[in-house]
Structure formats: C-alpha cells, structure tokens
Amino acid sequence: MDVETKIDAMKSFAQEIVTEAELRHIFETNHHPVAYDGFEPSGLAPLHFGPLRAKNANKMLDIGIHLKLYLADYFALINNKLEGNLERIRETGRYFIEVWKASGIDMDKVEIIWAKDLMDDFTYWDRFIKIGKAVSLDRTKRAITIMGRSEGDSLDTAQLFYPPMQVTDIFQMDIDICQLGIDQRRANILAREVAQKYKWKVPAIVSHPYILGLQGVPKEAQKSSDEGVLMQYKMSKSNPKSSILVHNTAEEIKEKINSAYCPERIIEGNPLFNYIEMIILESRDLPITIERPQKFGGAIEAKDYAELVKFYSEGKIHPIDLKAYVADELEKIIRPIREHFEKNRHAQELYQKVRNYKITK
C-alpha cells in the first residue's frame, strides 16, 4: 500500500494532524508504525466508544499500523472515576474490551495495555521524573483539561501527576502516532516538546474530533474560545444524560434522539448532523433518504451529506423527520453490539456489574 493511501486513511477521521510531513515520513520509513488510543475505564460505553472507535481502529489496522489500546486504570483512579475504586475500574476495563469486540475491532490485531503493567517498570518513573523536570507547573495546570477538568478546579496533588504521566505513556509505549481525541491535544503537544528537549523520538499527532452530546452546543457557547466550556458539550461516559449508550433499546434510542438539541434549519452545534457525518454515513451507502409525510412532499433524497445540510438549512426537512431517520439508523448500528451483550454470558456479567457502579466525575 502506497504512502499517500495511508495518509488519506488517517485524514479521513482526523480533525488535525501535527504534522502531515512528519506523518508521511513515518509511513515512508516504517511499514508498521505504532499508534495508540487511551481510555479511562469510567462507566458504560456511549455511541462513540463503540462504533466510532471501531471505524477509526479498523482504518488504522488496514494500513498496517500496530495499534495499542490503552486502559488507563490508574488515571481513572487519580481522576476519581467510579469513586476511585480500582477493582471496579479494572472490571470496567474488561467490559471495555467486550465492547470493542462487539463493535467489530479484530482484537487479535490490537495490543491491549493496562497502565498498571506499564508502570511496574522502573524506567516508567525515571521518564516521568525527567518529563516533570522539563515541564513547568503552569504548563501542567493548563493541561489539566485532558482529564475533563479546568485549570481553576480544586485539585489534589495526584491529579497534577496526570499530564506528565500521560506524556510518559507515549515514550514508554514507544509511540510513533498519538491518535487520540482533540481534547487530548495539550498532552500530545507537551510530549513533542519534551521529545525535542531530550532528543527523543518526536511523535506525530492525529487528533480525531469528539462527538457532541445530545444537548448539542447552544449558539452562545459556540462563540466561546474557552476549551473547558466547549468540552462540556461532548458526549461522555461520565454524563449518561448526554449519551446514547451501546446498550440502549430501539425505544430508548428514539426517546433520546427525540429529546436532542435540533433547532429547525440549524446545523452548527446540532448533534444529529454530527452523528450522521461521523457515524451513520460510515456504515451505509448513499443516497440519504429522509421520510416525510405526503402532505409535505413525501420522501426526500440527498445525494450526499452536503446536500442533506442544504435541504435542512432551507427548511425542506423538519427536525421530527430528521430525528426519525437518525434514531432508525443508530438502532441498526447499535443492535449487533447490544445483542452481543445479550447473548454472551461473560459479556452480560460484566455489563450487569458496570451498570450498577456509581458514576463519579
């Protein structure tokens, strides 16, 4: 497979690449570069954690990337997820693995790494101290947003360890490509700066966009340049009210989508268009057919996403009809995942445990 095809595959889900020239060089010199994505085990899996993650993972596997999926158990402990109960955090990590299986990731082709195992090696803490020496306290505090908190929050000492630990992970796992959400950008940029200071391998960054929560982004919030403000509107495991879960029934999906933020003619900040572009159109063929009552012209067909946006912004598609389409398509995507947990005894046992854990932030 040629280099440009690999670059195009990464661009297909990237919001930002730092830098494209470096990414190209990685593919030119390494047939199987190492990329990773990391997760705090912190609750039941929402929409993006399964289908969207599988889409991105499979694209990377198809172009020969060695993918590491990192279960950040100690990070979840530091961040007080699941009341800081490490046993529950690790059980949730095992549940995560079942979600990835059910979502279509070939688990024989990925490497699962737990933070605890990575940290058992003394060289991890040697790197951690060196990184801590290279990063100011102010920079560390600014990077606190990677853990879903803001710079002004009251923090305990362990939470200040979080950004340099995440940077340490990158070098301990020998990562070539940091493939995480755009909300993790500050840690990845710190890793590049530290690497340049110590003459370590500089990782490229491929940041994927986060998916919006059901509440969308109100117009006034869209104008904000505050990263912490905008992060409040992403879909999150820690905020079930913002999320469609991979276990939701058809009726639950419909109910949630019907309550979602979806003003007439408005595209910006509208989560339904986010789901259509990032998830639905990755799993179905064009054109897009939206059913409408006959008195409003009957079904309308958009040849692609851009035409769908045009029709909606012109008022040719009503929010009620768009919501019906999105709910139906998401049900088709989620159904196989839900059924995996219904039919697989081990997966069902993990799900029943995790669903009863108290979600904490």
User: Is it the case that residue 101 has pLDDT exceeding 90?
Assistant: yes
Query: Quick one: 155 and 242 in the same domain?
Result: no
In a domain, 57, yes or no: yes
Among 136-145, 190-199, 251-260, the least confident range: 136-145
Beta-strand ranges (E) seen in the chain are: 16-18, 34-39, 66-71, 110-114, 177-181, 204-208, 288-290, 300-302
Domain boundary residue among 147, 181, 208? Answer: 208
Task: Note the pLDDT of residue 227.
Answer: 60
How far apart (Å, rounded) are the C-alpha atoms in residues 205 and 360? 30
In a domain, 360, yes or no: no
Mean pLDDT over 244-264 rounds to: 95
Query: Quick one: 182 and 262 in the same domain?
Result: no
Q: Which domain holds residue 291?
A: 219-355
How far apart (Å, rounded) are the C-alpha atoms in residues 317 and 305? 13
Query: Quick one: 229 and 159 in the same domain?
Result: no
SS3 content of the chain, % helix, strand, coil (to 5): 55, 10, 30
Q: Find the radius of gyration of the CA atoms of the chain.
A: 21
Closest to 244 in 3D by CA, of 48, 4, 113, 84? 48
Summarize pLDDT for 214-244 with one digit per residue, the tens: 998 877 777 665 665 667 788 876 676 789 9
The count of structural domains within the chain is: 2
Task: Note the pLDDT of residue 344.
Answer: 95
Query: Quick one: 196 and 253 in the same domain?
Result: no
Domain boundary residue among 208, 238, 258? Answer: 208
Summarize pLDDT for 40-72 with one digit per residue, the tens: 999 999 988 889 889 999 999 999 999 999 999
Query: Quick one: 230 and 194 in the same domain?
Result: no
Both tokens of 320, joined, read 């009620």
Instruction: Specify the pairing of strand 300-302 against strand 16-18.
Output: unpaired
Beta-strand ranges (E) seen in 209-308 are: 288-290, 300-302
**Please, which pLDDT band fits residue 121 given cuts at 50, 70 and 90?**
very high
Question: What's the pTM value of the predicted model, to 2 decimals?
Answer: 0.92
Q: Supply the CATH number for residue 240's domain.
A: 1.10.240.10
In a domain, 213, yes or no: no
- The CB density around residue 168, as the number of other CB atoms within 10 Å, is 25
Q: Supply the CATH number for residue 187's domain.
A: 3.40.50.620
Query: Quick one: 183 and 39 in the same domain?
Result: yes
Query: Quick one: 224 and 141 in the same domain?
Result: no
In a domain, 214, yes or no: no
Cβ contact 179:36 at 8 Å: yes
**Please, which pLDDT band fits residue 151 given cuts at 50, 70 and 90?**
low
Tell me which of 333 and 217 has the higher pLDDT. Answer: 333
Query: Quick one: 16 and 164 in the same domain?
Result: yes
Query: Quick one: 225 and 192 in the same domain?
Result: no
